[in-house]
Structure 1
Amino acid sequence: MTPEVGSFVVDTRRGAIGEVMGHEGPRLQLRPASGGREWEAEPDDVRPATEAEKLTAKVRAANSGSRWGK
């Protein structure tokens, strides 16, 4: 199963939550919820993020923006 663009997944290799930004061949392009540099992941190395993981990522993104006056 290939995750949809806009969905959140956990990259089990990195231990990081990312938003699916696109697909390049078999690889996924992921970006941290708080923004930043995208990275690539193999589809076999990701799993859907749980609701708790998605919430945690979104809260971290909101908190990082508030610290820097965004």
Structure 2
Amino acid sequence: MNAGEFAVDARDGRIGQVMGHEGGYVQLRPPGGGREWDCPPEALTPAPPGEVLRARVRRLNTEGRLP
């Protein structure tokens, strides 16, 4: 996977944007920002566009409720 692409971490189903590669792992960040996590490359699958959109909308809705 290349930087900027979205992928699904098959270990837990989280969607993330590929930020880079470090020590044999792929670094992912949630859509819309947040804390990065490391994922082994063999556990990644391309994220369907609809899932990326849903994740972004969920994040925006959550941010809209914060004081």
TM-score for both structures, normalised by structure 1: 0.83
For residues 13-37 of structure 1, give each alpha carbon's deviation from its aligned partner in whole angstroms, at most 9, with x where no partner exists: 0211111111113210011114222
Counterpart code for 1:68? L
Could you list the structure 1 runs, at least 4 aligned residues long, displaced by more than 2 angstroms after superposition. none
In structure 1, C-alpha distance between the alignment counterparts of 2:29 and 2:12, rounded to whole Å = 12
**Of 23, 26, 32, which residue of structure 2 is paired with 1:25?**
23
Counterpart code for 2:26? L
Unaligned runs of 5+ in 1: none
In structure 2, C-alpha distance between the alignment counterparts of 1:68 and 1:31, rounded to whole Å = 21
Match of 1:9 in 2: 7
Q: Report the 3-state secondary structure (helix = DSSP H, G, I; strand = E; otherwise coil) of the residue aligned with 2:51.
A: helix
Match of 2:59 in 1: 61
Could you say what the CA RMSD is over the residues aligned between the two structures, in angstroms?
Answer: 1.4
TM-score for both structures, normalised by structure 2: 0.86
Unaligned runs of 5+ in 2: none
Q: Percent identity?
A: 49
